[in-house]
Structure 1
Amino acid sequence: MASIKDVAKMAGVSVATVSRVLNDKGYVGQHSREKVEKAIKELNYKPNEIARSLFKKHSNTIGLIVPDIMNPYFPELARAVEDTASKLGYNVILCNSDENKEKEQAYLDVLKQNYVNGIIVSSNTLTAEQIEALNIPIVSIDREISKGLPTIVVENKKGAKAATHFLKSKGRKRIGHIRGTAGVVNAEERCGGYREAVAEEPWFTESYIVNGNYDMESSIDATRELLGRHPDIDGIFAANDMMAIGAIKAAYQLGKKVPEELAVIGFDGIVLSSVMIPELTTVAQPIYEMGELATTVLVNLMEQQPMEKTYYTLEVELIERRTT
């Protein structure tokens, strides 16, 4: 593999001259520039992008921080971000924070040290003060961090109400809710939508809500607890698809038939929901559109383009399948 010294030797110039040509910084005579460009082409020389970013104090790279790469929602989101970034001439560094504040801060430090141009983040722990300290463009996705920060979310409460009312329309009399992680904004909104839909039901108490922590294994235990507490439950709204899948597994373990004895609806619309058996009824987010929009907004910020607005709330769609 050719080095910058090889290019300088073939062109008959100094390494510093080659560097000025590569970075388009400083004066280089036209004759010398042509010799350098010819040598680069003949040697098929590829510049060291890390070194160039250190020299220029920026790179054609954006960061993407997600809380749980094991949840299929986030790889689908990451795919949209990567596709869009690539079309716009940027690379993506993917970071998995595990909703851990220290790990998230460590990733922020690393990304800044590598001179990323901007960051897309899905976080429930990042603060407005941390955002300001970074001093680079940031876009929040899936959950709001602070007012004024460019944000892409969906109609969480509206979708949750629609899911619960849909179970009612199917004749379900007692509907439980497997909520997402306490304190996470979208989990609170979805739980709030469920509460509004059942608030006037004479049977409803807070004991019809259990925490599945947005995790399939936790949801299995939570569902067993919920059905043990209220055996008459005949419908469950889970705040994401992975917890809905956990609820179906728990029902199978308890000998309950889905949907005959227990109807289950999820939230997200991940690809897995359409290929499992029985296929999962879900409130689908426009996942690809969210990633595409977040990346476009971030690149516009980085390139200092005019912004029409900074807060986007996208619609969700209830997709009926076999679990209801």
Structure 2
Amino acid sequence: MTTIRDVSKLAGVSVATVSRLLNQSGYVSKEAEVAIMAAVKKLNYKPNTIARSLAGKKTSAVALMVPDILNPFFPELARAAEDEAAARGYTLVLCNTDNNPDKEKMYIEALINKQIDGIMISSYTISPGQIVALQERSIPIVAIDKPYDGYPILSVTAANREGGKLAIRHLLESGCQKIAHICGPSHVHSAYERALAYEDSCAGMPWYTPSLTAFGGFSVAGGYKAMKEIYRMHQDVDGVFAGNDLMAAGALKAIHELGLSVPDKIKIIGFDGIVMDMVFPELSTVSQQIYTLGKTAMDYLIRQIHDEPIERKNYELEVRLLPKSTT
């Protein structure tokens, strides 16, 4: 097996010089760097990352913590994060917390013990104080899908409120005269912002009433139940904005069972961009460009790991309206 001594011998430099370059722990001249990298390539040398981690160096491993891997949003996010990590020489560790704070804490301590280089975290339960405490232990963190205003925490979110307004505007421009909203959990930032967008857009309308909003829990079953509830009270509803695509799919099933024609009798739009072509008719939605979200968040995490200057604030990414057959 090729060793660091083989690399130093071929490059004509000391072992210490090779170590400084590979660990990015000190100055190495340009000439030496070129010689070392040529030797590394020729010998196909792969540094022992475990040994380096025991010596207090980087492990070249990063983690992504998600609350529910069964939600189609998170596999696409994970794929983007993994692609970006691999392209930058990092291995991704995926942790599913099941929305369980105790499991979340267990994972965090395990990752710290394994000397993880940084953590991307999507959590409905972690507090800003916990994140700040991790950063004080020199662990780079990027929060996903939730901003922490007033705290020095770097987060990446979609423009949820603007996306909700795009959805309502699209329904109105498509001829809808009474629009309902199926909302997600109010403690989830994205669900809260989308619900606010509905209220901002519709509260002043003559047909508006709070009973046009029903809770769907971000699930297909929840969307189905919420749609049935709304229709029992408002049989003249002709537009539905669901706070995510899963609830929209459930609502679409309920609408079919009620014998209503889509989009002639009632129009529906979701949010996320994850099941558009998996339902019939194809679902109109607001895409938050999940792949871009995951890729951007991983880029910001690696930049922090490399001590590059980047402001700890919320970075909000644009969303896109994708009108399909349901509107």
Taking only aligned residues, the RMSD between alpha carbons, in angstroms, comes to 2.9
Partner of 1:151: 155
Verify: 1:311 aligned to 2:317, yes or no: no
* Identity score, percent: 42
Residue 79 of structure 2 corresponds to: 79
Distance (Å, rounded) in 2 between the aligned partners of 1:162 and 1:232: 23
Correspondence 1:1-324 to 2 at 5 A: 49-50=49-50, 52-56=52-56, 58-134=58-134, 135=137, 136-146=139-149, 147-270=151-274, 272-307=275-310, 310-324=313-327
CA distance, structure 2, for counterparts of residue 140 and residue 117 of structure 1: 15
Deviation for aligned residue 1:229: 2.2
Between the aligned partners of 2:104 and 2:312, the Cα distance in structure 1 is 27
Q: Quote the Cα distance in structure 1 between the aligned partners of 2:92 and 2:164.
A: 32
Q: TM-score when scaled to structure 2? A: 0.82
Tell me which amino acid in the other structure corresponds to 2:276: S
- Taking a change above 3 Å as real, the CA distance of residues 177 and 139 of structure 1, as seen in their structure-2 partners, is same
Alignment length (residue pairs)? 299
**Structure 2: how far apart are the matches of 1:74 and 1:100?**
16
Work out the CA distance in 2 between the residues paired with 1:229 and 1:113. Answer: 54
Conserved 8 A contact 1:123-1:145: no
Note the C-alpha offset of 1:65.
Answer: 0.9
Give unmatched runs, 5+ long, in structure 2: 6-14, 24-38
Q: Distance in 2 between matches of 1:216 and 1:53?
A: 44
TM-superposed CA distance for 1:224, in Å, is 1.2
User: What is the SS of the residue equivalent to 1:56?
Assistant: coil
Structure 2 CA distance for aligned equivalents of residues 52 and 214 of structure 1: 43
Query: Residue 47 of structure 1: CA displacement?
Result: 7.3
On the 8 A contact 1:238/1:267 being kept in 2, the answer is yes
TM-superposition CA deviations, 1:283-305 (whole Å, max 9, x none):
11121211111111111111101
How far off its partner does 1:311 sit? Answer: 2.6
- TM-aligned CA distance change 1:45 to 1:86, over 3 Å: closer
Separation in 2 of the partners of 1:47 and 1:88?
Answer: 16
Opposite residue 111 of structure 1, the aligned amino acid is L
Q: 1:51 to 1:225 in 2, by over 3 A?
A: farther
Whole-angstrom distance in 2 between the partners of 1:107 and 1:229: 45
Q: Deviations over 1:209-244 (max 9, x none)?
A: 111111111211121112122222111100111111
SS of the equivalent of 1:112 reads helix
**What is the rounded CA distance, in whole Å, between the counterparts of 1:203 and 1:97 in structure 2?**
41
Once residues 188 and 301 of structure 1 are traced to their aligned partners in structure 2, the CA distance between those partners, rounded to angstroms, is 29
1: CA distance, partners of 2:273 / 2:145: 14
List alignment gaps of at least 5 residues for structure 1: 9-17, 26-36
Q: Given that residues 132 and 152 in structure 2 are in contact (C-alpha distance below 8 angstroms), is that contact kept between their aligned partners in structure 1?
A: no
Contact 2:270–2:284 (CA under 8 A) maintained in structure 1: yes
Contact 1:124 1:145 in 2 (8 A): no
Work out whether residues 182 and 213 of structure 1, in 8 Å CA contact, stay in contact via their aligned partners in 2.
Answer: no
SS in 1 for 2:71: coil
Deviation at 1:59, TM superposition (A): 1.1
Which range moved further: 253-262 or 295-304? 253-262
**How high is the TM-score relative to the length of structure 1?**
0.83
Does the 8 Å CA contact 2:49/2:60 hold for their aligned counterparts?
A: no
The alpha-carbon deviation at position 197 of structure 1 amounts to 0.8
Q: Is the CA contact (8 Å cut-off) linking 2:132 and 2:153 kept in structure 1?
A: no
The 3-state SS of whatever aligns with 1:89 is coil
Query: Within 1, Cα distance between the matches of 2:47 and 2:308?
Result: 29
Question: Are the equivalent residues in 2 in contact too, given 1:178–1:219 (CA < 8 A)?
Answer: yes
